Amino acid sequence: MTAIGDGGSTFAPWESAPGDFAVAAYREDGVWHVSPLPGRAAEDLAALVSALLQRPPDGAPLAFVAVDDDFWVVARRVGPDVRLVLSDATAASEWPIAREVLDALGEPVPDDDEPQVVGDLGLLADLGLGAGEVEDLCDDELYPDEACLEMASRLGFGAQLRQVLRVGSPAY
């Protein structure tokens, strides 16, 4: 069973372009809760982490950000730490949040424009989505929103994520 929304959030899903979004998900008593994050969370890593830290720490809180046709970010709170994956490091040359993720990971901005995933690919392994599967989703030529929806489906809250996104956009 899954609950949608965070029980009173007034944030609308971030909509810069069709398919762009920032959402958080966490489990409580075996139930996934999925809610949109404020637009700032899709543009600024500190805002994304702050929004993530507001979720219950024992509920495997995570966040997905899908940006344009370019990249996605997954952030996951594990104890006091936040683990990150960026689907394409080359996005850092155009998008501030991608550069901030690289900085947080201690990774340089790539010199070439070959897509490369960076970060902790195993951040969802204990939830059932291994590092190889996360890496494959980067290589599958999926749009960022499609990759995030696929991860959510494999983790058990794909329908709920679609419902949350449908509220803000007819694209889902």
Give residue 169's pLDDT.
54
Give residue 6's pLDDT.
39
Site of tokens 């994050």: 37
The reply to whether 69 falls in a domain is yes
Give residue 167's pLDDT.
58
The reply to whether 58 falls in a domain is yes
Distance CA 73, CA 43 (A): 11
The reply to whether 27 falls in a domain is yes
**How many domains are contained in the chain?**
1
Q: pTM of this prediction?
A: 0.86
Give residue 4's pLDDT.
32
The reply to whether 171 falls in a domain is no
Give residue 60's pLDDT.
84
Q: Let me know: does 37 contact 48? Beta carbons within 8 Å.
A: yes
Kindly report the average pLDDT of the chain as a whole number.
Answer: 86
Give residue 110's pLDDT.
94
The reply to whether 22 falls in a domain is yes
> In the structure encoding, which two tokens stand for residue 13, read together?
């899903």
The reply to whether 14 falls in a domain is yes
User: Residue 61: which domain range?
Assistant: 2-166
Residues of the chain with pLDDT under 70: 1-19, 140, 167-172
Give residue 22's pLDDT.
95
The reply to whether 110 falls in a domain is yes
